[in-house]
Chains A and B, each alone.
Chain A
């Protein structure tokens, strides 16, 4: 594997992106969890996380990316996001409140902790759904074999 890397023409790209990809994923998590205090949130973080996986696939090939993040995970991830979001709403029902009214999580709190917990859960659902959907879309386009016409070759 390493010998193959050394003779590959994209060795600089590979080395640089190997350092960058974990940082991009970390930045996505920062954007997600800091979304309550500054610009950011589940939608942005999901897209940034997906772009880290897409960068990995572009540099190391789609098959390597599918070994790192299997397509079955992606399917589960995007369904799990919707489930977490809807499940939060069902949980508020179960606690006797209205659908997605988060106050019931901590009704006694003077600092709106219930709202904070609810927003946390909902944003987590958004993160999973958006990451899963974006990676699934990229996998679908990337693994389609092109039917090129003769003049295009």
Chain B
């Protein structure tokens, strides 16, 4: 039970991933297939990002006090130096590397999704349908007739 509680992110991600995979496998409609593919893809993003989480961590944006060369004006004001307790505190950050990988993957993902949708549009224009089995049937009949035309 504790194992499931500690790994709840993996359990949910597997369920989501398999849901997306099932949609890709089981449906005949190509647009629904692409939606399933994008559900699958988003679940992979969730897996990566949940791996990068550190308990008690902060988003990987470095506090000003930790940054080399960051200086505070002597007269105080807006940029006044924080108190010594804050200055000394160690800040824990979440792992930035999966964030970088997934950030670019999301934008590339939408670009490739658009390619898939464009292919579906062209298939619809040629075959008049976007259902897998109907396209197979049309192709089969065409092969029986040969390319006499």
**Chain A contacts to B: CB under 8 angstroms:** 37-39, 41, 43, 46-47, 110-111, 130, 133-134, 137, 140-141, 144, 147, 149
Contacts and interface: CB of A to CB of B under 8 A. Distances in A.
B125 A43 contact: no
Given A130-B107, A137-B111, A144-B121, A39 B69 contact: no
Contact of A47 (B107, B114, B117): B107
A141 B104 CA distance: 23
Contact of A43 (B69, B104, B118, B124): B104
Interface in B102-122: 103-104, 106-107, 110-111, 114, 117-118, 121
B82 interface: no
A130 B108 CA distance: 10
A39 B128 contact: no
Nearest to B125: A147
Interface residues of B, number: 16
A39 to B, nearest CB: 7
A128 B61 CA distance: 25
Nearest to A137: B114
B57 interface: no
Interface of B: 59, 61, 69, 103-104, 106-107, 110-111, 114, 117-118, 121, 124-125, 128
Contact of B128 (A111, A133, A137, A149): A149
Nearest to B128: A149
Looking at B59, B61, B107, B125, which has the most chain A CB atoms within 10 Å of its CB? B107
Contacts of A137: 111, 114
Given A43-B104, A141-B117, 16 more contacts: A39-B59, A41-B103, A43-B103, A43-B106, A47-B107, A110-B69, A130-B107, A134-B110, A137-B111, A137-B114, A140-B118, A141-B118, A141-B121, A144-B121, A147-B125, A149-B128
Contacts, number: 27
Contacts of A140: 118
Given A43-B107, A130-B107, A38 B69 contact: no
27 contacts: A37-B61, A38-B61, A39-B59, A39-B61, A41-B103, A43-B103, A43-B104, A43-B106, A43-B107, A46-B107, A47-B107, A110-B69, A111-B69, A130-B107, A133-B111, A134-B110, A137-B111, A137-B114, A140-B118, A141-B114, A141-B117, A141-B118, A141-B121, A144-B121, A147-B124, A147-B125, A149-B128
Contacts of A46: 107
A149 B127 CA distance: 12
Contacts of B114: 137, 141
Which 7 residue pairs spanning A and B have beta carbons closest together? A137-B114, A43-B107, A111-B69, A147-B125, A130-B107, A133-B111, A43-B103
